[in-house]
């Protein structure tokens, strides 16, 4: 199921990123602190009371040195193209400005629902300041304060009234939902064409359509796959498409709908910082991952080349130490058949359930081998562990005091669980909980 998407637009300094961070804040803090993962995000999932949605801060779309008007126009276009509901944000301390009117004119022309938020209304006395904003033509203005977290519930309730009924096609649970991510020009489109052109691959004539994405259904050796969001890789010819933030936004939307993500890198160009960022998002989303080194045809090889390249990949993607690596050439359509077994394995492990009894034996053995840490004379006590979720496999370990579960010990337990059950291709999450 795809979550509805809310985009925030408005001229600079009205408080878009403050609100964005406030709404997603709680979620980010529970995300693992993984080196190499950027924090300057513009897209995230959010929860507010009973609402579950994704949020875009269009203020992060930056066209570099382009003039103000062009920037704002691009941001509004991203909101119109990528979201279901738009929160149009203005500054309650300033009154209506020309820039607000400009944004309003762009939004009028779209068919998207718009909710008007008047920010910086930090106390009730200021509420009368919002009436001017009726003139923008979007109905009732909602007073909020990003600094104080006021009014957000009412605003999001209003936005939620406009959420579309779920239009995401339902696929069979056994179907592997697959996406390819990577920075521009690593060969994602070429790879998709090469995969779909493989002899054993039978492409279904029916494609599922959701919002602006077109899914391709295909079968390999009786396994059904859906390739997510290939339409997103087709270019719309808009000015914002070349920005890095926008390509990350597209990737995140595709990642979210996937079970397995292929992180594509370019053997010819090597690995750069942007590759790590993109891969970090897939990791953070808890998806099964296969690293695909494309353009393998461009590399001059001897017997050690692959091993050396693999070391380089491992070095650069330390947080993806569980992901298998495939070396392929989309251009020569070579080695593609090495890819399917890895995808299948990663998917199987991603949805694997283990028995509690075996899990607890593994934990007991691990503790016998490497005693639990102590802090100020207090020792971590592990009572019991159980798997609480799949996709990704998630384990809860009940302990006497969760604070005593240090990162390194958690990592050790994760690795023992991996060794015992074989979770290649999938992240595993381990949560410690105090037992009452």
Residues that bind ligand GDP (CB under 6 A): 10, 12-18, 59, 119-120, 122, 145-147, 182, 184-190, 233, 294-295, 297-298, 329-331
Ramachandran bin of 216, using left for φ above 0, alpha for ψ from -120 to 50, beta for the remaining angles: beta
| 69-85 core/surface letters (b: 16 or more CB in 10 A; e: else) | eebbbbbbbbbbbbbbb
From the number of C-beta atoms within 10 Å of its C-beta (0-12, 13-18, 19+), residue 1 rates as exposed
* 186 annotated to a ligand binding site: yes
**Least spacing, CB of residue 276 vs ligand GDP, in Å:** 16
Decide whether 196 or 390 has the Cβ nearer to ligand GDP: 196
Tokens in use for 68?
A: 């103000």
16 marked ligand binding residue = yes
Q: Give the separation between CA 274 and CA 157, rounded to whole angstroms.
A: 36
In the complex with ligand GDP, the residue whose CB is nearer, 80 or 293, is 293
Q: Is 357 annotated as a binding residue?
A: no
Decide whether 13 or 364 has the Cβ nearer to ligand GDP: 13
| 175 conformational bin, left if phi > 0, alpha if psi -120 to 50, beta if neither | beta
Residue whose CB is less far from ligand GDP, 87 or 405 = 87
Residue 180 burial (CB count, 10 A): 26
64 is in an annotated binding site: no
Distance CA 328, CA 89 (A): 47
Pairing of strands 114-119, 5-9: unpaired
Residue 33 or 40 with smaller CB distance to ligand GDP: 40
* Residue 38 CB, nearest approach to ligand GDP (Å): 17
At residue 328, the 3 state secondary structure works out as coil
Find the shortest distance in angstroms from Cβ 384 to ligand GDP.
44
Cβ burial 271-287 (10 Å sphere, 16+ → b, else e):
beebbbbbbbbbbbbbb
Instruction: Please state the length of the chain.
Output: 436
And the tokens for 135? 């003139």
SS3 310: helix
Tell whether 295 is in a known binding site.
Answer: yes
Do 392 and 358 touch, CB atoms closer than 8 A? Answer: no
> To the nearest whole angstrom, how small is the minimum distance from the Cβ of residue 110 to ligand GDP?
20
Answer yes or no: is 54 a known binding residue.
no
Is 188 marked as binding a ligand?
yes
Is 294 part of any known ligand binding site? yes
Which residue, 12 or 341, has its beta carbon nearer to ligand GDP?
12
Nearer to ligand GDP, 248 or 359 (CB): 248
415 a known binding residue?
A: no
Q: CB of residue 173 vs ligand GDP: minimum separation in angstroms?
A: 29
197 is in an annotated binding site: no
> Which residue number, 254 or 413, has a Cβ lying nearer to ligand GDP?
254
Instruction: Name which of 146 and 280 has its Cβ closer to ligand GDP.
Output: 146
Q: How far is the CB of 390 from ligand GDP (least distance, A)?
A: 30
Q: How far is the CB of 357 from ligand GDP (least distance, A)?
A: 46
Cα 313 to Cα 213, 291, 326, 343, 392, distances in angstroms = 31, 9, 11, 18, 23
- Edge to edge, what strands does the sheet with 176-181 contain? 201-210, 213-220, 223-227, 176-181, 260-266, 288-294, 325-327
Separation between Cα atoms, residue 13 and residue 119, nearest integer Å? 10
Is 297 flagged in the annotation as binding? yes
- The full DSSP string for 190-217 is HHHHHHHHSTTEEEEEEEEEETTEEEEE
Closest separation in Å from C-beta 146 to ligand GDP: 3
In whole angstroms, the minimum distance from the beta carbon of 67 to ligand GDP comes to 17
- Between CA 45 and CA 52 the distance in angstroms is 8
Is 212 annotated as a binding-site member? no
- Show Cβ contacts of residue 261 under 8 Å, excluding neighbours closer than 6 positions: 178, 179, 180, 181, 255, 282, 285, 287, 288, 289, 290
Q: Which residues are annotated as a binding site for GTP?
A: 10-17, 57-61, 119-122, 182-189, 229-233, 294-297
Q: Which residues are annotated as a binding site?
A: 10-17, 57-61, 119-122, 182-189, 229-233, 294-297
């Amino acid at each position: 199921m795809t979550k509805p998407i809310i985009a925030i637009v408005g001229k600079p300094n009205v408080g878009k990123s403050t609100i964005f961070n406030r709404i997603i804040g709680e979620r980010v803090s529970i995300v693992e602190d993984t080196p190499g993962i950027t924090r300057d995000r513009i897209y995230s999932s959010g929860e507010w009371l009973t609402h579950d949605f994704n949020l875009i801060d269009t203020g992060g779309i930056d066209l570099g040195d382009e003039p103000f008007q062009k920037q704002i126009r691009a941001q509004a276009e991203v909101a119109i193209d990528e979201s279901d509901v738009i929160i149009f944000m203005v500054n309650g301390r300033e009154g209506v400005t020309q820039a607000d009117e400009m944004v309003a004119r762009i939004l009028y022309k779209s068919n998207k629902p718009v909710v008007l938020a008047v920010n910086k209304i930090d106390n009730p006395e200021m509420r009368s300041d919002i009436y001017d904003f009726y003139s923008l033509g979007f109905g009732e203005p909602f007073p909020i304060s990003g600094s104080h977290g006021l009014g957000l519930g009412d605003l999001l309730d209003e936005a939620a009234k406009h959420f579309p009924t779920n239009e995401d096609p339902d696929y069979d649970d056994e179907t592997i939902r697959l996406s390819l991510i990577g920075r521009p020009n690593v060969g994602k489109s070429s790879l998709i064409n090469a995969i779909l052109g493989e002899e054993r691959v039978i492409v279904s004539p029916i494609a599922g359509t959701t919002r602006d994405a077109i899914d391709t259904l295909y079968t390999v050796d009786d396994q059904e796959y859906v390739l997510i969001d290939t339409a997103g890789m087709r270019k719309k010819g808009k000015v914002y498409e070349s920005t890095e933030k926008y390509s990350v936004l597209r990737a995140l939307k595709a990642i979210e709908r996937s079970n397995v993500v292929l992180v594509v890198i370019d053997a010819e160009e090597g690995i750069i910082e942007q590759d790590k960022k993109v891969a970090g998002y897939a990791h953070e989303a808890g998806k099964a991952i296969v690293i695909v080194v494309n353009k393998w045809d461009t590399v001059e090889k001897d017997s050690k080349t692959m091993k050396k390249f693999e070391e380089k990949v491992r070095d650069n993607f330390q947080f993806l130490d569980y992901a298998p690596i495939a070396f392929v050439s989309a251009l020569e359509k070579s080695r593609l058949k090495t890819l399917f077994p890895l995808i299948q394995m990663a998917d199987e492990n991603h949805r694997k359930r283990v028995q509690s009894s075996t899990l607890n034996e593994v934990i007991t053995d691990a503790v016998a081998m490497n005693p639990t840490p102590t802090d100020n004379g207090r020792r971590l006590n592990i009572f019991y562990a159980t798997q609480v979720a799949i996709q990704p496999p998630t384990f809860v370990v009940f302990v006497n005091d969760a604070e005593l579960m240090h990162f390194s010990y958690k990592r050790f337990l994760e690795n023992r669980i991996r060794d015992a059950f074989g979770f290649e291709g999938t992240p595993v999450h381990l949560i410690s909980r105090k037992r009452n």
